[in-house]
Structure 1
Amino acid sequence: MTVRTTDILKAIQKLNPAEKHRLREYLIDALTASSSTGTVLEEISERKNRNGYRCPDCESDHIVRFGKYSTIVGGEEIKKQRYRCKACKKTFTDLTNTALYRTRHLNRWIKFIECMIEGYSLRKSAELIGNVTHVTLFYWRHKFLTALRQLEVSKFQGIVEMDETYFLYSEKGQRKIKNRKPRKRGGSAKKRGISNEQVCVLVARDRDKVTFSQTLGMGRLTKEQLDKAIGYKLSSENVLCTDAWRAFKTYAAEKDISIYQFKSDGKIRTKGLYHIQNVNNYHRRLKGWIQRFNGVATKYLNNYLAWFQVLESIHHQRNEVTVNDMIIKGNLIPNIETYDTLRLSKFTV
């Protein structure tokens, strides 16, 4: 049966004011998502290929155009370019090995990123986006975050505050957990203080808000872990501000870096310009934000650290420029994660 435009308009006129408002919001979101997605795809193509085409498999630059393929965005068919490598004979597109690769709902990614910025749960996000399950959004989230966490952090300038914090090791989502009973809502450690039940997360931040955050291993931080994780971003021109843990002092002495240390008793919190209050406040905000997830699987913890780091950098601005920029940046980085590699991944140090 064919529905005429006049019939649709008559049906709209019968709606009450609240229903008309919801319809208006839905149409605005749908039309905006469709046009924005097309813009994002064009920008990804332009940025990826500004220095010439390169095969994602063998890195050859002997590339030729190889027809076009169709993708559906907001109900509209969009033709996109396909390429072929003359060296390895494989074909690829601008989205090959990105978070958007083989995604069937490209037009819903705009709304999905908005939900991520707001910090909505997967179920609430699925409800707001529509026609996509919370399970699918879980994999979207981690494919995208796996790319974001590869964004390179600039080298630190001047004073660098550095401190470690700890999260209880978690196997959330694992069906068969060995050697202990499953915990509820994060649970608590069996041992007091810092032990090998806890994952060490290092956070370093300079006064320009350049931030590094990453898991380093189980239990207490060592200078070897510190050097491997962040040594290439530091130089003798930096001044470190840390807590009193000896690994920081040993590392600074070996690298000939000035250091100011502060004990956890809080009796001396500042020494002129030097303190660790910025990084401690970052820890507080991070821990408060992560609580909403009722425990995070340790194998995904680095992804959540990257997510929070991005939220801090944009100050929760939810506008079209911010959302589009996040999607573009997240899809300029090679990403070969699939549902199976994410599901079967394990925490390694």
Structure 2
Amino acid sequence: MTVRATDILKAIQKLNPAEKHRLREYLIDALTASSSTGTALQEISERKHKEGYRCPDCESEHIVRFGKYSTIVDGEEVKKQRYRCKACRMTFTDLTNTALYRTRHLHRWMKFIECMIEGYSLRKSAQLIGGVTHVTLFYWRHKLLSALKQMDSSHFQGIVEMDETYFLYSEKGKRKIADRKSRKRGGSAKKRGISNEQVCVLVARDRDKITFSQTLGMGRLTKEQLDKAIGHKLSSENVLCTDAWRAFKTYAFDNGMAIYQFKSDGKIRTKGLYHIQNVNNYHRRLKGWIQRFNGVATKYLNNYLTWFQVLESIHHQRNEMTMKDMMVKGNLFPSVETYDTLRLSTFKI
């Protein structure tokens, strides 16, 4: 059955004002997402190859054009360039080893990015996007986050607030858990306080909002973990503001750094310019945001920390610029994750 444009226009005229408004919003979102996809793909190509073409397999710079391939961009079939390495004979495209590699739904990615900025669940995102399952979106989510995780933040300047927070170790999604009963919606620890049931997450921020967040291991933070995770971003010119945990003080002493420490009782919260209120507020926002997922598997926790860090950097704003920027940055770094590597991965201490 062929539907003519005049029939569609007549049907639109019969809609009530609320229905017309919803249709208008849908068309604006759909057209904006489509136009942004094409420009994002072009920007990915330009930024990946700004210093010349390089083989993703052997790193050779002896690259030649090798025909075209067809893909759907903005609802139309588009011919894209394929390349071949003269050294190893491998063929590749602008999207090889990226989050977008081999995706069959390029035109749906911008709507997916929008859902990620809103922090929607996989099932809700699948309903809003249409034509794709929540299982596929799980794969998309972690491919994108594993790439974004490779973005290296700048070195810290001046005063650096640093504090650890803890999440209950979780094996959410695992069918058979050997040493304990499964928990419902996150559950609670068997032991009170900080124990080896808790995953230590270090967050550090300077006054320019340069942020570092990463899981360090189980239980209390150690000086060695601190040095390995963040030592390369600090120098003796930084002034540390931390809680009273001894690992921070030992690290500062060993590296010739000034340090101001604040006890958790909250009686003394500031010492002039020095405090840890920024990092503590970051902890509060992070934990409030992550609650919507009803528990996060610990092996994926670093990805969620990256996700929240990106959202904070764009102030949780959803617009054409932030969506395109997130899509471009998420495809400038190699991502070779597959559904199986994600599903079978384990938390590395």
Q: TM-score, normalised by structure 2?
A: 0.97
Give me the whole-angstrom Cα distance separating, in 2, the residues matched to 1:33 and 1:334.
24
Find out whether 1:130 has 2:137 as its counterpart: no
User: Per the alignment, in what secondary structure is the counterpart of residue 193 of structure 1?
Assistant: coil
What is the root-mean-square deviation in Å for CA atoms of aligned residues? Answer: 1.2
Give me the whole-angstrom Cα distance separating, in 2, the residues matched to 1:230 and 1:267.
29
Q: Which moved more, 1:21-30 or 1:163-172?
A: 21-30
Q: Which residue is equivalent to 1:231?
A: 231
Find out whether 1:194 has 2:188 as its counterpart: no
1:76-87 superposed matches below 5 A: 76-87=76-87
Check whether the contact 1:167–1:200 (CA below 8 A) recurs between aligned residues.
Answer: yes
1:1-349 superposed matches below 5 A: 1-349=1-349
* Matched letter for residue 306 of structure 1: T
Give me the whole-angstrom Cα distance separating, in 2, the residues matched to 1:136 and 1:301.
19
Check whether the contact 1:158–1:207 (CA below 8 A) recurs between aligned residues.
Answer: yes
Q: Which moved more, 1:255-264 or 1:209-218?
A: 255-264
Check whether the contact 1:172–1:297 (CA below 8 A) recurs between aligned residues.
Answer: yes
Check whether the contact 2:38–2:74 (CA below 8 A) recurs between aligned residues.
Answer: no
Deviation readout 1:228-273 (Å, 9 max, x if unpaired): 0000000000000111111111111111111111111112111111
Unaligned 5+ runs, structure 1:
none
Offset, 1:159: 0.5
Deviation readout 1:154-182 (Å, 9 max, x if unpaired): 00000001000000000000000011000
* Matched letter for residue 196 of structure 2: N
Offset, 1:12: 3.0
* Matched letter for residue 78 of structure 1: V
Give me the whole-angstrom Cα distance separating, in 2, the residues matched to 1:31 and 1:279.
39
Deviation readout 1:21-54 (Å, 9 max, x if unpaired): 3333333222222211110000000000111000
CA 1:305–1:14 in structure 2 vs 1: closer, same or farther (change >3 Å)?
Answer: same
User: Per the alignment, in what secondary structure is the counterpart of residue 6 of structure 2?
Assistant: helix
User: Per the alignment, in what secondary structure is the counterpart of residue 347 of structure 2?
Assistant: coil
Give me the whole-angstrom Cα distance separating, in 1, the residues matched to 2:74 and 2:125.
18
Give me the whole-angstrom Cα distance separating, in 2, the residues matched to 1:230 and 1:259.
16
* Matched letter for residue 49 of structure 1: H
Give me the whole-angstrom Cα distance separating, in 1, the residues matched to 2:209 and 2:202.
15
Deviation readout 1:171-196 (Å, 9 max, x if unpaired): 00000001100001110000111111
Check whether the contact 1:62–1:87 (CA below 8 A) recurs between aligned residues.
Answer: yes
Give me the whole-angstrom Cα distance separating, in 2, the residues matched to 1:300 and 1:282.
20
Give me the whole-angstrom Cα distance separating, in 2, the residues matched to 1:137 and 1:84.
31
Check whether the contact 1:30–1:74 (CA below 8 A) recurs between aligned residues.
Answer: no
Give me the whole-angstrom Cα distance separating, in 2, the residues matched to 1:5 and 1:276.
61
Give me the whole-angstrom Cα distance separating, in 2, the residues matched to 1:313 and 1:5.
43
Unaligned 5+ runs, structure 2:
none
Q: Percent identity?
A: 87
Give me the whole-angstrom Cα distance separating, in 1, the residues matched to 2:260 and 2:347.
33
Check whether the contact 2:32–2:320 (CA below 8 A) recurs between aligned residues.
Answer: no
User: Per the alignment, in what secondary structure is the counterpart of residue 178 of structure 2?
Assistant: coil
Deviation readout 1:110-163 (Å, 9 max, x if unpaired): 111111111112121111111111121111111111111111010000000100
| Runs of 4 or more above 4 Å deviation | none
Equivalent pairs counted in the alignment come to 349
* Matched letter for residue 312 of structure 1: E
User: Per the alignment, in what secondary structure is the counterpart of residue 84 of structure 2?
Assistant: strand
Give me the whole-angstrom Cα distance separating, in 1, the residues matched to 2:155 and 2:50.
25
Q: TM-score, normalised by structure 1?
A: 0.97
* Matched letter for residue 254 of structure 1: D
Q: Which moved more, 1:158-167 or 1:68-77?
A: 68-77
Give me the whole-angstrom Cα distance separating, in 2, the residues matched to 1:3 and 1:128.
25
